[in-house]
Chains A and B, each alone.
Chain A
Amino acid sequence: MNTSRFLAAAGTTLSLWMAVVPPTVAATGPQQQLERWRAETSQPFSAARGRALFNSKAGSDWSCATCHTSDPRRTGRHATTSRPIEPLAPAANPQRFTDAAKVEKWFRRNCRDVLGRECTTTEKGDVLTWLLELR
């Protein structure tokens, strides 16, 4: 087999691919979400408050833990559809909190479901601070 031609072909393909496919957006993770929220509030985040909020039912039938379990390193289950929910804690699921739009979408929906209102910046920071303590 003609190795040099193969390499040339592979190289051409790779450069074509790199030219066509746009570079991925800058990597973000849980720390970037926290920084974003810290810029919005002067109140320091508290893991203890986050944990309490996560497990509180606040007058509705559901808490966050209803679907995500009280140990968010574990796989949860949607309270109405029974669909499995991947772990929420970044230590157990590195995909979590890597997309700011997705993070805001789910906080908006789920806080409305559990609290009947959207979460404050501090509440979001509290919950994520607690989630990051779970190893």
Chain B
Amino acid sequence: MKPKSVRFARAPWVAVASIGALLVAGLALTARADDDEGRRQASVPAVPSAPAADIALWREECGACHVAYPARMLPAADWRRIMSTLDRHFGTDASLDAAAVARIESYLTRAGSTRAVERPAAVGKPAVAELPRITTQRWFLREHDSIPPSTWKDKRVGSAARCDACHLNAAQGRFDERDIRRLP
């Protein structure tokens, strides 16, 4: 065993290394993309080619008005439509400069679901030129089929965009069933 003094002398470097490791771990967490479908899922490693800065940009810009919905929640083609119509985004102007749009779209389409695009008519919506909605995807309806209308209308929810009203780790892209707050 080494003398105590030597070990302590190294402590600051150990601390510095630990902080470094934490920073790297933090980046890795940020970069964590998610798997497909809305069923119980642990987070899986990021799309390797998505730069962490683009993921951070996605989180900041998309997360400014609603939960930064994980890419896996829509097919890549749907994300392309959404990103090309940001100035008419579900009733609001969410326009961004072209460079930001390109970076976020690149991330979303690479990490997006590989499922086929669902036509709005498939869930009883008029087949007008409506933007794709996460809340009308078949997996979403299936996952939420036991949620009564009263819960959606609860003041703490207010809108289906508020994933985080029940999914406590939604902001981190985690939707595990054990992290759900049950509202009456």
Question: Quick check: B92 and A80 within 8 Å, CB to CB?
Answer: yes
User: B45-53, B93-101, B106-114, B116-124: which lies at the A interface?
Assistant: B93-101
Within 8 Å CB of B65, what residues of A? Answer: 78, 81, 83
Question: Does A57 sit within 8 A of B, measured CB to CB?
Answer: no
Which residues of A line the B interface, CB within 8 A?
1-2, 5-6, 9-10, 13, 77-78, 80-83, 105, 108-110, 112-113
Question: Quick check: B92 and A109 within 8 Å, CB to CB?
Answer: yes
- Looking at the assembled complex, report how far the CB atom of A6 sits from the nearest CB atom of chain B, in whole angstroms: 5
Within 8 Å CB of A105, what residues of B? Answer: 96
Q: Is the interface of A mostly helix, strand, loop or mixed?
A: helix
- Cα A2 to Cα B159 in complex, Å, equals 58
Q: Which of B1-42 contact A (CB under 8 A)?
A: 5, 8-9, 11-13, 16
Within 8 Å CB of B90, what residues of A? Answer: 80
Q: How large is the interface on B (under 10, 10 to 19, 20 to 34, 35 or more residues)?
A: 20 to 34
Number of A-B contacts (CB under 8 A): 53
**Per a CB cutoff under 8 Å, which of A13, A80, A112 touches B159?**
A80
Question: Quick check: B161 and A81 within 8 Å, CB to CB?
Answer: yes
Question: Does B134 sit within 8 A of A, measured CB to CB?
Answer: no
Known: A81-B161, A82-B161. 18 other contacts (CB 8 A): A1-B9, A2-B5, A2-B9, A77-B158, A80-B91, A80-B159, A81-B65, A81-B66, A82-B158, A82-B162, A83-B67, A83-B162, A105-B96, A108-B93, A109-B92, A109-B95, A113-B92, A113-B93
Within 8 Å CB of B161, what residues of A? Answer: 80-83
